[in-house]
Chains A and B, each alone.
Chain A
Amino acid sequence: MRAIVWRHAAAVLVTAFAVLPIVFVVSAALNPIGTLSSTALVPRGAGLGNLLRLFEETRFWTWYRNSVVVAGLTAALAVAVAALAAYAFSRFRFAGRRVGLVSLLVIQAFPQFLAIVPLYVIFSAISDNWPVFGLNSVWGVVLLYIGGQVGVNTWLIKGFFDSIPKELDDAMMIDGCTHTQAFLRVVLPLAAPVLAISGLLVFIATINEFLIASVFLTGDDARTLAVGLFGLLADQRNANFGMFAVGTLLTAIPTVLVFQFLQRYIVHGLTAGAVKG
């Protein structure tokens, strides 16, 4: 029993560290004066003035829609693509496998935003031919973000696939299944926890991405939350802090929802049961 008390004490401490800065942001969002210098940890009053200002003075909902669409598409597609590659690396033995795995790691070590000048050149060319995937287009940055994240996620998912007993696919294949069917019916369902985590990580990384979005999505209709909110503080740092805090909290909502939605997969690992059966 004492051990449980200690566990709770530690958990409360860690939780407090995690939550306090967020409380500060909530307080700033409610602060009726709406400036940075007047914000305390416990709000002295509460009002929706900042929220109303944010909706009236900015195109917040357009930014919001863009961010959710970009992050959602990127997360879903990056995980799908990475899971395919991870399956090949985990289950097949082929020439170049080792080289492929190591190069994934090495290639991904290059921070994408350092190559912003080349990327801009590439996307200018794409814009000329296929505007759907060009500058100021959601699909263009989605592809770009997938390219920047797929390597890490392939590694993450491959590590999990390796822990799923190969005997399960073998059993499927003895029954006459193809590799594709073994992948879709056995490996993918069992890997739900890691797929959920990968998706969540990509979603969060994407919704937070600022530098690339600020170069590729400059049109008024194409801006994301990161670009829009950053502009808010760049204009008027002190006076806009309340609006900024409201925007920050609203930006967190989609992430929390995605996490809640995926939590059951994250929490209930399925492999242990599978080995028993």
Chain B
Amino acid sequence: MTITRNPARHDRAGTGAAHPRARSWPGSASGVAVRVLALGLILGVALWAAAPLVSSGDWTGMAITAVATGVALWAYLIPRRLPAKYLLPTTFLLVAFQVFPVLYTMSLALTNTGDGHLGTKSEAITAIETSSVRRAADSAEFRLTVAEKDGALVFLLADPATRAAYAGTEDGLREIGGASLGPGGRITAAEGYTVLTAAQASARSAEITALAVPVEGGAIRSQGLSRAYRGTAALAYDAGCDCVKGDGGIWRSDEEQGRFVAEDGRALPQGWKVGVGLSNLGAALTNPKINAHFAGVFAWNLFYAIAVVALTAALGLAAALVLHHPRMRGVRAYRTLIVLPYAMPAFAMLLVWRDMFNTDFGLINRMLGLHTDWLGTPFTARLSVLLVQLWLGFPYMFLVATGALQTIPREYMEAAEVDGASPWQRFRKVTLPLLLLALAPLLVSSFAFNFNNFNGIFLVTSGGPFPSDNPTVGATDLLITYTFRLAFGQQGAQYGLAAAMSIYVYLIVAVISIIGFRRTRAFKEVS
């Protein structure tokens, strides 16, 4: 930020005489001072950011830092780049945390990234070899102490013969100094590591069993909580044939699918990430499991978003108008109470609402003396999620409508009154258009938000109720919850497919947002 207050100019506009120097700002003393300050600040931040990148030799990071620094210097040191000066912080933040993730998602959509396809081919080979480790009769033994470093599990290993101490992680084995050995030959403490107590270790026993420390020709695995052995790998990668051999089988590398496949078509579970072109994007459209219900989910999704916007805006606006009257008393108290739902943590209240809809001990059934399974039938479940979202959303509209009402100059109303307009005409012709002008961007962004209101559905109904013949699509499913379940559901994480689906969801929302804005007066303000 380069804006500083000039102490010489504290007098208000219009009252004091114009300061002669301030007219020629770019050359004025304060202007120069501001720019020197900006230069120092930008260079300081740049140097701080570059230091770790230089020491780790990260050239991509350095290039990004250099470009960002260059842009900042260009914007803040050259006079007469006014819009850029104001827009730069927003631009930086959007590029880093919104534009780049979207582009990255798009690139993920072109790969098979997911469970079993997370890393590179060499990482997959290491995983295959270490997971095939078996214990042989002559396997070397170690005394094991389970420890922790930065939350990650570490095996502290002591060689009973040489009493040498090692630290083993999933990245490999290295010798450590300064470890103290107990009477049983086990390491009791080592600098930089936190030794787990027996209770802590047994709580993480699944992790401990799974940890294999890769070493040449095999891996070190645990046997119980106090011993480890150096086993030999049953499977080994052979670069000559680009295949994995062992256990009487051969798995050949399949570069298209990113995994090792045997003659009979069976593949090893550990694969690697490869590009799959447009097949994810195609699968989202052609896979009958995915596209069969697309139209129905899309229609309900559209209805849900429109209904939520319309209901919340109508109630919020009505409440704001009701309270906007010079002779109204207790307005402050009403406002505070009406805004309360918005102050409550939404995620928690969604869970509370779910319990209020409960058939047996839900508040709603008890108050109305009913025994309705609200979330059990499609119609009532849809009604319920709309009601919940109305409750959560209308205070937001109320707040903004209240704010907007204050900004309508009283002169407009007085002028309309002088012209003989009735109260209804004044509302219809003056208040409402001005309110909608202020609310229009909000209505569109509210639509975009609710179109993808993951929490609003997932925490209340989880997308259900589900028809008995089809557990993959529920009556209240939005595209986003539906996608989420398909991609991260029973078959495990399929980030590539999920990314492809989210691109479709994004395109739909973006197109609808643009159409929505074109239809509002707010869009005319842009031109």
User: Which of these, A128, A144, A177, contacts B13 with CB under 8 Å?
Assistant: A177
Q: Are B441 and A156 in contact (CB under 8 A)?
A: yes
User: Which of these, B61, B99, B400, B452, contacts A197 with CB under 8 Å?
Assistant: B400
Given A105-B513, A144-B97, verify A275-B89 contact (CB < 8 Å): no
- Interchain CA distance A200-B366 in the complex, whole Å: 35
Q: Point out the residues of chain A lying under 8 angstroms from B322, CB to CB.
A: 7, 10-11, 14
CB-CB contacts below 8 Å: B399-417 with A: 399-400, 402-403, 406-411
Given A15-B334, A18-B395, verify A252-B344 contact (CB < 8 Å): yes
User: Which of these, B93, B438, B440, contacts A143 with CB under 8 Å?
Assistant: B93
Residues on B lying within 8 angstroms of A by beta carbon are 1, 3, 5-6, 9, 12-14, 16, 18-20, 22-23, 25, 49, 52-53, 56, 58, 61, 82-83, 85-87, 89-90, 93-94, 96-102, 104-105, 108, 113, 151, 315, 318-319, 322-323, 325, 327-328, 330, 332, 334-349, 351-353, 355-356, 361, 363, 366-367, 391, 394-396, 399-400, 402-403, 406-411, 437-438, 440-442, 444-445, 448, 452, 454-455, 480, 495, 498-499, 502, 505-506, 509-510, 513-514, 517, 522, 525-527
Q: Are B13 and A185 in contact (CB under 8 A)?
A: yes
Q: Would you mind naming 6 contact pairs between A and B with Cβ atoms under 8 Å apart?
A: A18-B340, A40-B366, A160-B407, A208-B347, A252-B340, A269-B403
Q: Point out the residues of chain B lying under 8 angstroms from A269, CB to CB.
A: 403, 406-407
Q: Are A185 and B12 in contact (CB under 8 A)?
A: yes
Closest chain A residue to B17 by CB distance?
A175
For residue A204, CB closer than 8 A to chain B, the reply is yes
Besides the known contacts A7-B328, A150-B94, A193-B403, 15 further A-B residue pairs in the complex with CB atoms under 8 A apart: A3-B325, A14-B322, A18-B338, A18-B395, A24-B356, A25-B349, A117-B108, A143-B93, A150-B90, A155-B441, A159-B441, A184-B3, A251-B344, A266-B403, A275-B411
The B interface is mostly helix, strand or loop, or mixed, namely helix
Closest chain A residue to B405 by CB distance?
A269
Q: Point out the residues of chain A lying under 8 angstroms from B442, CB to CB.
A: 156
Query: Which 8 pairs show the lowest CB-CB distances between chains A and B?
Result: A147-B97, A269-B406, A118-B104, A176-B18, A115-B101, A88-B86, A85-B90, A255-B343
- Interchain CA distance A58-B129 in the complex, whole Å: 42
- Interchain CA distance A105-B502 in the complex, whole Å: 17
User: Which of these, B104, B319, B454, contacts A211 with CB under 8 Å?
Assistant: B454
Given A14-B315, A117-B108, verify A112-B93 contact (CB < 8 Å): no
Q: Are A259 and B99 in contact (CB under 8 A)?
A: no
- Interchain CA distance A96-B463 in the complex, whole Å: 42
Q: Are B6 and A105 in contact (CB under 8 A)?
A: no
Given A7-B328, A210-B347, A248-B352, verify A107-B90 contact (CB < 8 Å): no
Q: Are A109 and B315 in contact (CB under 8 A)?
A: no
User: Which of these, A119, A121, A176, A197, contacts B399 with CB under 8 Å?
Assistant: A197
Chain A: how many interface residues by the 8 Å CB criterion? Answer: 121
Given A92-B82, A117-B495, verify A171-B13 contact (CB < 8 Å): yes
- Interchain CA distance A121-B100 in the complex, whole Å: 11
Contact with B along A257-269 (1 / 0, CB 8 A): 0011001001111
Q: Are A197 and B403 in contact (CB under 8 A)?
A: yes
For residue A100, CB closer than 8 A to chain B, the reply is yes
- Interchain CA distance A108-B322 in the complex, whole Å: 33
Q: Point out the residues of chain B lying under 8 angstroms from A107, CB to CB.
A: 94, 98-99, 102
Q: What is the minimal beta-carbon distance from B150 to any residue of chain A, in angstroms?
A: 10
Given A36-B355, A193-B407, verify A11-B325 contact (CB < 8 Å): no
Scoring A175, A226, A248 by chain B CB atoms within 10 A of each residue's CB, the highest score goes to: A175
Q: Are A143 and B513 in contact (CB under 8 A)?
A: no
Q: Are B101 and A272 in contact (CB under 8 A)?
A: no
Q: Point out the residues of chain A lying under 8 angstroms from B87, CB to CB.
A: 84-85, 88-89, 100
Closest chain B residue to A210 by CB distance?
B347
- Interchain CA distance A171-B347 in the complex, whole Å: 48
Q: Are A201 and B495 in contact (CB under 8 A)?
A: no
Q: Point out the residues of chain A lying under 8 angstroms from B526, CB to CB.
A: 98, 101-102
Q: Are A184 and B409 in contact (CB under 8 A)?
A: no
Q: What is the minimal beta-carbon distance from B358 to any residue of chain A, in angstroms?
A: 9
- Interchain CA distance A50-B488 in the complex, whole Å: 35
